[in-house]
A and B are shown apart, each in its own frame.
Chain A
């Protein structure tokens, strides 16, 4: 059984990759702080993505209402909790968590969202990227405590991805293996 990606996932990955490139994930690591291989740099990349996603949900909320707005607000609140958790983990490793960029800077990288469908499709793309990022982190983070944190956040990202799919009238789970296969 191999890895599979739908065209939509591939397009979403491209959108989110553009976003990730713009959110600071590619910035060089600081010259002082945590030791190389501690996982701090990887956590910093996850945090940069979370900052961007929080900003993205604020933009999505401008065109949403009703159940979609209520649920995306709940998701955005979880994303802010992820930011806090990642900041704590990076500080525990002796690192300096990257701060987010301004709302204007993020907004320049976002697609134009004219209607609820645009916002939910954008949110789905972002959640796909986040699930994939946390699953990749599971394979790369060096110690159990960090992997446990990544798994816990990744599980929430999986639920968020499912929720934005349901809000679009899609099945919650698109397949038995989200973003990959055993």
Chain B
């Protein structure tokens, strides 16, 4: 992500958000996550995607990228625990990407809002740790 244009950065973030939305939707369909938690996390990711799309409209978006479902997702849908661990991995990836983007994006007006989403992804990690019954909520 480093060194790309703002459009590149935002498109990468949108692709990540779409992966998260797809994952939570699949988990809800397959009963691989508590419904309330799954809907909450999915709805947050939808709001993030909507906001990134809005920013992309202002930044001059190119054509949308196609995404392919990750093969690991299918395996992760076997149980609540395996899906939570898979989602935790995805959320960690999103957290790292938002952290990098919030610091590096060239448009300074986007840094704080991207940081705001970053903090939400950090909260999602905590929610998933809680769902896994982990007693340590922070790393």
Contact = CB atoms under 8 A, between A and B. Distances in A.
- Bin chain A's interface residue count: 35 or more
Interface in B119-139: 119-127, 130, 135-139
Contact of B138 (A74, A139, A150, A181): A74
Contacts of A159: 122-123, 125-126, 137-139
A78 B139 CA distance: 9
Interface stretch (A16-24, A29-37, A107-115, A128-136): A128-136
Interface in B16-52: 40-41, 43-45, 47-48, 51-52
A160 B100 CA distance: 19
Contacts of A131: 119
A177 B111 contact: no
B138 A156 contact: yes
Interface of B: 40-41, 43-45, 47-48, 51-52, 54-55, 95, 98-100, 102-104, 108-127, 130, 135-139
Given A138-B103, A148-B100, A70 B116 contact: no
Contact of B55 (A74, A134, A161, A182): A182
B70 to A, nearest CB: 23
B117 A182 contact: yes
A179 B87 CA distance: 24
B127 A166 contact: yes
